[in-house]
Chain A
Amino acid sequence: MSQELLMYLSVAILLLPLIGFVKVIFFGKRLPRQGDWLETLAISVALLLSLLVLYQKLTLYHAETLSLNFTWIDFHDVPGIGPLKIILGFSIDNLAAIMLVVVTLISTLVHFFSIGYMQGDVRYSRYFAFLGIFSFSMLMIVLANNLFLLYVGWELVGLSSYLLIGHWYEKKSASDAGMKAFITNRIGDVGFFVGIMILFGTFHTFGLTEIFEQVKAGNLPFGSEWWLTAAGVLIFCGAIGKSAQFPLHVWLPDAMEGPTPVSALIHAATMVAAGVYLVARTFPLMTADALMVITYIGATTAFISATIAVAQNDIKKVLAYSTISQLGYMVMGLGVGAYSAGFFHLVTHAMFKAGLFLGSGSVIHAMHHALHHQHDHHTDPQDIRNMGGLKAKMPVTFWTFLIFTLAISGVPLTSGFLSKDSILAGTLAFGNLTGHILIPIVGFFVAGLTAFYMFRIVILTFLGEHKSPERFSLIHESPKVMTVPLMILAALSFFFFYSMNPLDGAEGWISQATQRPETVVPASVAAASTEVFEEAHHHAHYTAMFLSLAVAGLGILIAFATYHWKKISADKVAENFSGLHKFLLNKWYFDELYGVIAIGASLRLTEILKWFDNTIIDGIVNGSGWITKVTSAISGWFDNWVIDGAVNAVAYISGFFGIALKKTQTGKVQTYVALAVFGVMVFYFAMRLL
């Protein structure tokens, strides 16, 4: 297959969802089944074409970048700049080809799932139309080979996210969440825009390849390395907003007000990963300082959100915080230089996190129906304290959910193990090379926390006893159209799709296809070169693997010990969560140590160790509980006051000016005309006099 044909196929992939969108938004209500089949068909064809493109790309043109350019505007000779043309285009490299498949695959599965989940919704056809425009804009980000089209797609995904979060806009919380997401994203996008303008102002081109060449040739923005760092960090600002990184991560948990399949598609698998994709795209531009900023932001995000996730009771909120935490992981991975690991985690995370969301959607769907049947409108169908024991009623959902949880926890034989392990090895290598030892520590700590809170929701949701037998009898498994996507995603969460070696992801085809690109920044400000880093990365691999296995295992063990083996009633957990949690933790330690000691040591040793237990271990456990609580409180306070405050202040100022200017609107056309003429006269005389 020729290169041109591949490029035309890619453009066709891009346009298919758009065609579906146009058709469904205008004629959706008149089409049979409100046009859901049309959107689903369009995206399914796009998926097949993407698979074809990926296969051809990897087999025939493995090392090449295919592109298709066209001149958008030709300004001819611009004074002070010279000939200026704006050339836009699309290109396919291995990164883009893999992302194409990821986006269209998740999108297709979500479309099918939505047919079941959204059945009977008031705005059924509009929902599908918005899914179409989302897929289109996401694919545009993936295919764009220039910052201009990338930015257009970037804003369009923001828009479609806003539309879909606010899908049930009758609910005030939903429309508020949509606005919050949109405005918070805007803050990051302003930085992104300024970054683009710094580059465009210097190089007069939006093309990424051209910019890289110019930088490599030694042309720096405004002739200074400082500006190059600034451009890199500002572009990363866009990623901070879209990928919900600290300090702009506040919008993502609220975005869970949208329909659950939307959360799976947009707020777990694809759109929020766009920020990571952006960093990967502009990776060669990043100086060592910029990468350091990226690393620390990623690490902070991963840590903060993982601690918060431990204390949440809403199933979707836990998943949302977990998403933020995993995105922090990917960003951290890219920041430390583990380029292919970060991108690999993006792909695997897209699969299992989409699956987790769809699984939770299936659970919520079932709960909702049962509650609806009982005419109970007060019980929250998303609260895990109201669930339990669903394993017996929803076996498919349970088993798939369990597989996803194993994957996200990094248990061997799953895809998550490969990618997470690779990132953790990267952080270790980074710690060794630069001495920033905090980064690997945070990485492993968060890995443990992840395993803990994910198993917490699995246990509380599916195991144990259900609270209300009457409600329990009404719960039943979701229809095939919802469970089949889950099974597909579960299959894709195993290692063999990504690497033949279940212990090393670096040998897999994704890692091989997405080698870290050479940096173009001057050597004096560049991060450690690829060779040096790869060496250190390889060296750290087994250490990282054992450590991550250990922390994940520990996390899972604690979760089971706390929520399952002790068979604590969920009501007590709900009433007195943090105190009980700590209490359980203490007792478990006591039992374990007591058992070990009773087998092998004397009474005296026992007493010493008893003292040790009571003071040191209790102190550590209490202290760590206290630290977690304080960190959560601080980050909560920061969210509520600093970030929300900034957002509210912007809204308040706009409102103030709106009210002030409203008075000039008399509603009389003639006054307007007279004032307009008057204004023109004022202008004229001002120009004459000046």
Chain B
Amino acid sequence: MELFDIAFFVFAFITVVSAFIVVFSKSVIYSAFSLLFTFFGVAALYVLLHADFIAVTQVLIYVGGILVLMLFGVMLTNKIVNVELKTGTLHTIPALLLVSVVAGTLGGLFYSTWKGDVAPPPPPFESTTKTLGEMLMTSYLLPFEIASVLLLVALMGAAMFARRRTKT
């Protein structure tokens, strides 16, 4: 057990446990906050995978952007008097069955990729930011441009949707 392994288990534990809380917690607010920990845990896993740029992006966009949006959503769609903010669940038993089959299958499949020995870990990457930047500007230029247009469209669309309708 090296430092790398210990770090992995710590962060994997944080990620998985907080994800459990996200899904099983009754309170929306609790869920949202443990989602924060899940995102951080995943970001840490990215760091362990030597993907520093992705890790930073994860923190910036998920934590800084999406989670805040979610919280706004929670606030705006519940009446202030409804302090509890609890939500029910539906047909949990069949869903639980289905999901355990999914988890079992995927886990078994991934586990079976282990060939007994651990391959020697690949050499550490240099800082990935420069390489990623170059790739985005060369071989992935078209998807990159499309993504930027998509973001613009999503922004305008969201603004239009969320605008309060004036009664005509």
Contact with A along B65-103 (1 / 0, CB 8 A): 000000000000000000000000010001100100110
User: Whole-angstrom distance between the alpha carbons of A241 and B98 in the complex?
Assistant: 51
Does B105 belong to the interface (CB within 8 Å)?
Answer: yes
Contacts of B95 in A (CB 8 A): 674
The 8 A CB mask of B108-136 against A (1 = contact, 0 = none) is 00000000000000000000000000000
Complex formed: what's the CA distance from A681 to B99 in Å? 10
Q: Tell me if A678 and B98 are in contact (CB < 8 A).
A: yes
Tell me if B94 and A681 are in contact (CB < 8 A).
Answer: no
Size of the A side of the interface (Cβ < 8 Å), in residues, is: 6
Q: In whole Å, how far is B92's beta carbon from the nearest beta carbon of chain A?
A: 12
Asked if A59 lies at the interface with its beta carbon under 8 angstroms from chain B, I say no
Contact B90 A681, beta carbon cutoff 8 Å: no
Contacts of A674 in B (CB 8 A): 94-95, 98
Contact mask for chain A residues 26-61; partner B; CB cutoff 8 A; 1 contact, 0 none: 000000000000000000000000000000000000
Q: Which residues of A contact B101 (CB under 8 A)?
A: 681
> Are B105 and A684 in contact, with the CB atoms below 8 A?
yes
Q: Report the Cα distance A674→B93, complex, angstroms.
A: 12
* Bound CA span A677–B106, Å: 12
Main secondary structure of the interface of B (DSSP, over half): helix
In the bound complex, residues from chain A placing their C-beta under 8 Å from that of B90 are: 670
Interface bits B153-165 vs A (CB < 8 Å: 1, else 0): 0000000000000
**What chain A residues lie within 8 Å of B105 (beta carbons)?**
681, 684
Q: What 1/0 flags go to A671-683 for Cβ under 8 Å of B?
A: 0001001100100
**A681 contacts across to B, CB distance below 8 A:** 98, 101-102, 105
Q: How near does chain A come to B158, taking the closest CB pair, in angstroms?
A: 19
CA distance A681 to B94 in the complex (A): 14
CA distance A684 to B94 in the complex (A): 19
Q: What band does the interface of chain B fall in when counting residues whose beta carbon is under 8 Å from A?
A: under 10
- Interface positions, chain A 126-178, Cβ under 8 Å from B, are none
CA separation between A681 and B101, bound complex, in Å?
A: 8
Q: How many angstroms from the CA of A677 to the CA of B94 in the assembled complex? A: 12
For A540-579 the 0/1 string (1 means CB < 8 A from B) is 0000000000000000000000000000000000000000
Residue ID in chain B nearest A680 by CB atoms: B102
A322 CB to closest chain B CB, in angstroms? Answer: 51
Instruction: Name the CB-closest residue of A to B106.
Output: A684
For the complex, give the distance between the alpha carbons of A684 and B101 in Å: 12
Shortest CB–CB separation between residue B105 and chain A, in angstroms?
7
CA gap between A650 and B141 in the complex, in Å: 47
Cβ < 8 Å to B, chain A residues 650-679: 670, 674, 677-678
CB distance from B55 to the nearest CB of A (A): 29
How far apart sit A689 and B98, CA to CA, in the bound complex (Å)? 19
Question: In the complex, what distance in Å separates the CA atom of A678 from the CA atom of B101?
Answer: 9
CA distance A681 to B119 in the complex (A): 30
- Chain B min CB distance to A198 (Å): 36
Residue of A nearest to B90 (CB): A670
Q: How far is the CB of B126 from chain A (nearest CB, A)?
A: 34
A684 to chain B, nearest CB (A): 7
Q: Which residue on B lies nearest to A670, using beta carbons? A: B90
Q: How far is the CB of B100 from chain A (nearest CB, A)?
A: 11
In the docked arrangement, what's the CA distance between A677 and B95, Å? 10
Q: How far is B100's CA from A677's CA once the two chains are assembled, in angstroms?
A: 12
Q: How far is the CA of A674 from the CA of B95 in the complex (A)?
A: 7
- Bound-complex Cα distance A146 to B95 (A): 54
* Chain B min CB distance to A676 (Å): 11
- CA gap between A674 and B90 in the complex, in Å: 12
What separation, in Å, do the CA atoms of A674 and B105 have in the docked complex? Answer: 16
Chain A residues in 8 Å Cβ range of B94 = 674
**Smallest CB separation, A583 vs chain B (Å):** 67
Q: Write the nearest CB–CB distance from A557 to chain B, whole angstroms.
A: 67
Closest to B109 in A: A684
Kindly list chain B residues whose C-beta atoms are within 8 Å of the C-beta of A670.
90
Task: List 10 A-B pairs, minimum CB-CB distance, nearest first.
Answer: A678-B98, A681-B101, A674-B98, A677-B102, A677-B98, A674-B95, A681-B102, A684-B105, A681-B105, A670-B90
Subset of 12 A-B contacts with CB under 8 Å? A670-B90, A674-B94, A674-B95, A674-B98, A677-B98, A677-B102, A678-B98, A681-B98, A681-B101, A681-B102, A681-B105, A684-B105
Sample of 9 more A-B contacts, CB < 8 Å, known A681-B98, A681-B105: A670-B90, A674-B94, A674-B95, A674-B98, A677-B98, A677-B102, A678-B98, A681-B101, A684-B105
